[in-house]
Structure 1
Amino acid sequence: MSYQHILVAVDGSPTSDHAVAQAAALARATGGRIRLLNVMDPLAHISGFERPEVYSQEVLPRLRKAGEALLQQASARVKQEGVAVDTVLIENLNARVAQLVVEHASAWGADLIVLGTHGRRGLERVLMGSDAEQIARTSPVPVLLVRLPAGAAPHIA
Structure 2
Amino acid sequence: MYTQILVPIDGSPTSDHALGEAAGLAQLAGARVRLLHIVDPMEHTNGFERPEVYHRDVLPGALRAGEALLRQAQKRLAQRGVQAETALVQSLGPRVAQLVVEQAQQWGADLIVLGTQGRRGLPRLMMGSDAEQVARTAPVPVLLVRGAQAGAAPA
**Does structure 2 retain, via aligned residues, the 8 Å contact 1:43–1:93?**
no
Deviations 1:74-123 (A, max 9, x none): 11111111111011000001110000000000000000000011111111
The answer as to 2:2 corresponding to 1:3 is yes
The answer as to 2:23 corresponding to 1:35 is no
- Write the distance in 2 (CA, Å) between the matches of 1:83 and 1:33: 8
Gaps of 5+ in 2: none
The answer as to 2:93 corresponding to 1:97 is no
Deviations 1:107-144 (A, max 9, x none): 00000000011111111111111000000000000000
Amino acid at match of 2:28: A
- Write the distance in 2 (CA, Å) between the matches of 1:133 and 1:79: 29
Please state how far the C-alpha of 1:56 moved relative to its aligned partner.
1.2
1:23 matched to which residue of 2? 22
Gaps of 5+ in 1: none
Please state how far the C-alpha of 1:51 moved relative to its aligned partner.
2.0
The answer as to 2:113 corresponding to 1:114 is yes
Distance 1:122 1:83, change over 3 A: same
- Write the distance in 2 (CA, Å) between the matches of 1:44 and 1:11: 12
- Write the distance in 2 (CA, Å) between the matches of 1:86 and 1:143: 19
- % identity of equivalent residues: 62
Amino acid at match of 1:136: A
2:82 matched to which residue of 1? 83
- Write the distance in 2 (CA, Å) between the matches of 1:111 and 1:120: 26
- Write the distance in 1 (CA, Å) between the matches of 2:97 and 2:147: 21
Task: Output the TM-score relative to the length of structure 2.
Answer: 0.94
The answer as to 2:154 corresponding to 1:151 is no
State the 4+ residue runs in structure 1 displaced beyond 4 angstroms.
none
Deviates more, 1:143-152 or 1:129-138: 143-152
1:52 matched to which residue of 2? 51
**Does structure 1 retain, via aligned residues, the 8 Å contact 2:112–2:141?**
yes
